[in-house]
Amino acid sequence: MTPTQIMVNGLPGNVAIKMATHARAHDRFQLLPWSLTGPDVDSETLDLDNFSIALIRPELADSQLGQIKADHDPLIIDYTHPSAVNQNAELYVKHGIPFVMGTTGGDRKALVDTVTQGDTPAVIAPNMMKQIVGLMAMFEYGATHFPDLFKGFTMRVKESHQKGKADTSGTAKAMISYFNQMGIDFSTEEIMLERDPERQKNLWDIPDEHLGGHGYHTYSISAGDESSFFEITHNINGRDVYVPGTYDAVDFLINKLNDPENRTGHVYTMIDVLKKN
């Protein structure tokens, strides 16, 4: 079997490095020695365990992607920067390169429009952590079908992320919207945000090595009269958890591409990937 040519964009970013490392470690894939990078990156190359990857600055992206497409017909994994999401997607579609977009932010509607107006399929998901995506889908199902399920209940939400993360997590926002639909009055401003490494270590039991990168969420729901209590927790340490989902998305896209009918500008989500349609 010919290995799939993978181009990982967003090096030398942390998550992009995880993705590139995975491609290097598995014979099914061949990591291409180029990566789109940001305008503030000075290095011209990144050494990934003795494999040298050329970092392509934005002004050269268009021409070089054209050449890479012609020579290697690759599949792209994009973990770049919110500010680059839309222009990158436009380039991928222009050159007809299918891609998995794990980068968050940017103009999401424009992102989807770019793909659907082209003829290249893509998997786009702001969260590639499969189990969290699945859990969210279950609660979305509840929100759709059981609109008043938790009416009269109160909720507390606490979440901890690495110091420096200023915004509320998209996962928490989505989960809260599902509980809102199930009858609970709660706004994202009420979330208890933890960003203090000392407390994370001592009160949350977050391992030292993950104080710099983690996402802990707990949703606690109680009936006012103490008669019932529900709690859902999902805790993530590090960035490795995004690798399996991203490569499942790659495999999903390869399957789609093997069927000429699917070579259309369709946007798939992680739910599609999990369902293995």
Tell the residue number behind the tokens 């990144």, with chain if given. Answer: 46
- What is the rounded CA–CA span in Å between residue 17 and residue 10? 8
Number of residues that bind its own copies (CB under 8 A): 38
CA 136 to chain centre: 14
83 binds its own copies (CB under 8 A): no
Q: Which stretch binds its own copies (CB under 8 A): 26-34, 55-63, 70-78, 221-229?
A: 221-229
Given 161, 214, 217, 234, the catalytic residue: 161
Residue 225 is given by DSSP the state T
Tell the residue number behind the tokens 């998550």, with chain if given. Answer: 15
Report the residue from 33, 66, 142, 197 that binds its own copies according to the rule CB under 8 A. Answer: 142
Q: How far is the CB of 229 from its own copies (least distance, A)?
A: 4
Report the residue from 223, 251, 255, 264 that binds its own copies according to the rule CB under 8 A. Answer: 223
Which residues are CB-contacts of 199 (< 8 A; sequence separation ≥ 6)? none
26 labelled catalytic: no
165 labelled catalytic: yes
Q: How far is the CB of 149 from its own copies (least distance, A)?
A: 4
| Token duo for residue 163 | 């110091």
**169-198 binders of its own copies (CB under 8 A):** 182
CB 79, CB 123: distance < 8 Å? no
275 binds its own copies (CB under 8 A): yes
The answer for 164, left when phi > 0, alpha when psi is -120 to 50, beta otherwise, is: left
Report the residue from 14, 52, 83, 233 that binds its own copies according to the rule CB under 8 A. Answer: 233
Which residues are CB-contacts of 93 (< 8 A; sequence separation ≥ 6)? 114, 115, 117, 118, 120, 265
For its own copies, the binding residues (CB under 8 A) are 129-131, 134-135, 137-139, 141-142, 145-147, 149-150, 153, 182, 207, 223, 225-238, 240-241, 274-276
Residues taking part in catalysis: 161, 165
